[in-house]
Amino acid sequence: MDINRKTAYLVLSDVESKKAYSNLALNHQMIINKPNAPGFVRELVYGVLENKLTLDYYIDLLVKDGIKSLKTPELIILRMGFYQISHMGSVPEYAAVNESVVLAKRYCRTKASLVNGVLREYINKKIQLRLPARGEDEVRYLSIKYSYAPWIIEMWLDRYDVDFVEKLLAAGNETPPMTIRLNWLRVMKSDLIKNLQERGFTVEQGDLCQNALHVKGNNLLDSDMYKLGLFTPQDESSMLVAEKLNPKQGDLVLDVCAAPGGKTTAIAERMNNTGRILASDVYKRKLELIEKEAERLGIRNIETRSWDATRVDSTLLQKADRVLVDAPCSGLGVVRRKPEIKYKEYTTEMERLPKKQLAILSASSSYVKPGGTLLYSTCTVNPDENEEVVDAFLRKNPSFEKKEQILLLPQENGTDGFFICVMKRSESLI
């Protein structure tokens, strides 16, 4: 059995059956199985996840009793086979079929002949297969073409014109670049670039942030440079949060929804290990992620604590120079990194998100000293989680003034979808 396809299957099975995060499941199975072509595994895993609804549409057309007759193992194997045939030109069609049958014999033995037959039929008929007619049901057409849950498309079509939505959908299916954040505490930019290039990596300066580098090459996170804390993988949209917060040496900074700590550590690096950063998260176990990253990066000015950000800590009232509220959100700006987000079911929790975000922002604003900075950010492009939350807050809190507001879009900026709003508290609290 091909170890690479086996690894991809196990990752996809974890995501589908155990609701695991794709990046965590991929890292886990890579460590266990040690595939000899990790790039192939990543391409296959993320390709299937990004195109799941499209693949399921074609599978449903070709399976005699429909896709609902399939159990998870054979469905995953068929998705993998269909994707290899339709999208991976380097894979011969016979190899995609044969290796899929081998997987089926291992994980769903009685369905091996079905897998073989459906894949061969797909090869014979793929040119004839068509998406549903756009004119009959635009939401269904866009859902299947770009593989997004219909409710997401409906929501965006209510907010934006169809051309904007289609570009946003397409951008969400693109492969993001590997972007890293230079750790100024441990290395100069010129030295890091030189070290990367000497190891065969291609390096380009980031577009938005001074400490951002775009890197091409394999196994970057296995390098000694990463282990020594010379850099952190992070999208520029996320880096920009720390830049716009603009912390100064000696500041007291509160990061109220800090885990897993990417923005927290970026702030610490900018503060040159001075001052104090209080990093909070409601989930105590997640604070360990921040602490481990701080240790890797040589950061000593971060304190962690478990705290519900909707509650006000009276001991910190008006004491912070800067407060970051990177609020929990729908995450629809980062689907190119976490494609499983595209298939979330719409729940009442989605409806409650803006209310929760406003509660966190309101509670956290009480920590900002006169003249201090409050920054609200999310990794989504939904106005009801972004602009509308900020506007609702400012209406109730006239002592704060909006200074800068940024909406980053993958189709325009080449980054994750991200919202950043910088607010200033007046010097006088009359």
Q: Where in the sequence numbering do the catalytic residues fall?
A: 379
B/e letters for 330-369, b = 16+ CB within 10 Å, e = fewer, are bbbbbbbbbbbbbbbeeeeebeebbebbbebbbbbbbbbb
Q: Helix, strand, coil % (nearest 5) of the chain?
A: 55, 15, 30
Alpha helix segments (H runs only) across 366-420? 387-396, 410-413
Map residue 259 onto helix, strand or coil: coil
Beta bridge partners, 130, equal none
Q: Report whether 368 contacts 320 (CB < 8 A).
A: yes
DSSP assignment of 166-234: HHHHHHHTSPPPEEEEE-TTT--HHHHHHHHHHTT-EEEE-SS-TTEEEEESS-GGGSHHHHTTSEEE-
Amino acid at 342: K
* 119 Cβ contact list (under 8 Å, min separation 6): 78, 81, 82, 85, 96, 97, 100
CA-closest candidate to residue 174, choices 10, 344, 417, 6: 417
351 vs 354: CA distance, rounded Å: 7
Show the tokens assigned to 404.
């800068």
The one-character DSSP state at 399 is T
Amino acid at 312: V
